[in-house]
């Protein structure tokens, strides 16, 4: 199969998925009824109306926690398949994991230097 045929298949699948999604949306709009009620546009918290603003600002330090979590979450997601193919690949797989862990360790050192691990 040549490259142009592969792109044609990809384009056809994209058009098909978009058509399917738009047809489901149109069907839901045609079948479903919308009721205008005054309480629908008011934010609720635990079943009661909220007096505070809905858009609460989070402190910027939570971004560091999120990045560290994602880094170590990705480490575990990468280490399991690596452990499965380690014997077949040998030294190449060991070097790949070493580079990966070194990059994560550099991220940990950066987070530590910025105070992301400090309790506040």
What is the torsion angle, in degrees rounded to the nearest 10, for the CA atoms of residue 39, residue 40, residue 41 and residue 46?
A: 80
More confident site: 50 or 76? 76
- Summarised one tens digit per residue, pLDDT across range 90-101 is 888 889 889 988
pLDDT surpassing 90 at residue 9 = yes
pLDDT of 34 reads: 77
How far apart CA 42 and CA 81 sit, in angstroms, is 47
pLDDT of 64 reads: 72
Domain ranges of the chain: 1-32, 61-113
- Summarised one tens digit per residue, pLDDT across range 24-75 is 999 998 998 777 776 666 666 666 666 666 666 767 667 777 777 887 887 8
pLDDT of 46 reads: 64
pTM: 0.46
Comparing CA positions, the residue from 60, 54, 30, 31 lying closest to residue 41 is 54
Contact (CB, 8 A) for 97 and 83? no
More confident site: 52 or 76? 76
pLDDT of 4 reads: 92
């Amino acid at each position: 199969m040549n490259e142009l045929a592969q792109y044609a298949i990809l384009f056809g699948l994209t058009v098909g998925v978009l058509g399917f999604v738009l047809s489901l949306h149109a069907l839901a709009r045609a079948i479903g009824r919308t009721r205008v009620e005054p309480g629908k546009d008011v934010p609720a918290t635990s079943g009661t109306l909220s007096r505070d603003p809905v858009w609460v600002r989070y402190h910027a330090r939570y971004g560091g926690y999120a990045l560290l979590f994602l880094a170590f979450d990705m480490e575990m997601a990468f280490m399991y398949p690596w452990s499965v193919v380690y014997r077949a690949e040998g030294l190449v797989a060991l070097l790949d994991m070493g580079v990966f862990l070194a990059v994560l360790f550099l991220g940990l050192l950066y987070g530590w230097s910025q105070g992301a691990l400090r309790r506040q």
